[in-house]
Structures are given as structure tokens and as C-alpha cells.
Amino acid sequence: MSETTNRLQIGQSVPDFELTTYDPTQGDFSEISLAELKNQGKWTILFFYPADFTFV
């Protein structure tokens, strides 16, 4: 099976993170950060998947 480590629990504060992204609406690379989304008053939904070129 898989081997994963402990994770954030429900109700815990998520540490700020930054990700380099490919943004399909711009057709370009970009950066996104949780701090920025929080400043905009937005909810964030993270959607992890195993690999590109497979089903999501």
C-alpha cells in the first residue's frame, strides 16, 4: 500500500504555502500563495491527484 506521513488535522491552521502553477486561463506560468488568497477573503480548495496524463 501507500506510505504517508501524519497530516494536518481538521480545525488546524494551515501554514502559508506558495506554489508555482501553470494557469490555463493565461496560458502561462504563475505563482499562487495561501497568504494572498486569505487576503482576498477567498476559500481555497486543494485538489491533489497522482499524475498528469492519468485520470483525475
Partner 1 sequence: MGAEVITVSTDTQFVHLAWQNSEKELRDVKYPMGADPTGKLSRQFGVYDENTGLALRGTFIISPDGTLFNSEVNFYNLGRNIDELMRKFKANMYLARKATEACPSKWKDEGDKTLEPTAKMVGKVWEALNE
Per-residue b/e over 2-34, b at no fewer than 16 CB within 10 Å?
eeeeeeeeeeeeeeeeeeeeeeeeeeeeeeeeb
Closest distance to partner 1 from the beta carbon of 39 (Å): 9
Binding mask 14-43 for partner 1 (x = CB under 8 A): xxxx-xxxxxxx---xx-x-x--xx--xxx
Query: Least distance to partner 1 from the beta carbon of 53, Å?
Result: 5
Determine the residue type at 43: W
Binding interface with partner 1 (CB under 8 A): 2-17, 19-25, 29-30, 32, 34, 37-38, 41-53, 55-56
